[in-house]
Amino acid sequence: MRHYDHRVHAGNAGDVWKHFLLLEAADCLLDPDGSLIYAESHVGRPHYALRAPGDWEGGIGKIWPALPALRNFCYFKILADLNQEILRPLLYPGSARLIYELAKRKGAKLEADVWDNDPGVACSWGGFSQATKYAGSFLPAKIVFHQGDGFTGVLSCLRRSPPGLLFIDPPYIDPQDIRLAEKLLLRARERGWIVLWWYMMGMKTMDTKTAPDDLQTFELQFAEAGLEGGRWKGGIVAFAGEDRERLDHLISQMHRQIEKFIRVLKR
């Protein structure tokens, strides 16, 4: 079984786009009742130390000088808070850690189940869990890490958990990842989940004949935002959900926040 190591890629242009949208979606969904059920198929480590050289230099490194103007967005506020006493290396939180930090700041209840098959990632989550216990945090924000195949794990989670927010983010090192991601999106949507699916621009993904009619995609051309994605020209986050009223509210919020975000980057 192959393991994907995200450490050299952490904080890249794709991470900036997907994590910005993920945090805005979670922030929107947390508002009504102050709680969130969250699942993630391929989670990676809780956080990464950004050292040169690394892909982060073309991603969050390009945006870091504009951070004071971006602190109204929860993603960038968390980045700033976690690095206020750290000069180098920068600490970059992974997706589930970002969700955890958001819930903690809002005093919200979080029940998260996340998967990865890498033993090194599993060890890092064990260390994070011990650190949060040692810090004496009694906030009702909980992340349960599962070492194993995320596609199978999330499908099992869908059968036993009430609906929440699902983030599908496979490494795409296996040709089957796209097909399995499509299957997972459709199954989760049927069960009432709001689903975010991340992939790079130019990848062949869901056929329009099989895609749900409520599938909404948000694209970012990296160069237009002053970012550098290497061989990838841009990234896409697709949103889906069977509850149209809830999804429409979320999509409207995304459009507003994206417009503000891009406006800051183009100053």
* Domain boundaries along the sequence of the chain: 13-265
What percentage of the chain carries pLDDT values higher than 70?
A: 95
How big is the chain, counted in residues?
Answer: 267
What integer pLDDT is reported at residue 139 of this predicted model?
58
Residue 121's alpha-carbon distances to 3, 7, 97, in angstroms, are 10, 10, 13
Q: Are 236 and 206 in contact (CB under 8 A)?
A: no
Crossing angle between the packed helical segments 95-106 and 13-30, to the nearest 10 degrees: 30
Report the number of secondary-structure helices (H) and strands (E) in the chain: 9, 9
The whole-angstrom separation of Cα 203 and Cα 125 is 30
Mean pLDDT of all residues in 223-247: 94
Superfamily of structural domain 13-265: Vaccinia Virus protein VP39 (3.40.50.150)
The whole-angstrom separation of Cα 98 and Cα 20 is 10
Mean pLDDT of all residues in 130-146: 72
Q: Note if the bond before 53 is cis, omega within 30 degrees.
A: yes
The whole-angstrom separation of Cα 87 and Cα 95 is 22
pLDDT at 168 over 90: yes
Q: Which residues contact 32 (CB under 8 A, 6 or more apart)?
A: none
Mean pLDDT of all residues in 23-39: 89
Q: Which residue has the higher pLDDT, 93 or 141?
A: 93
Q: Which residues contact 162 (CB under 8 A, 6 or more apart)?
A: 37
Q: Is 5 left (phi over 0), alpha (psi -120 to 50) or beta?
A: beta
CA–centroid distance for 175 within its chain: 22
pLDDT at 38 over 90: yes
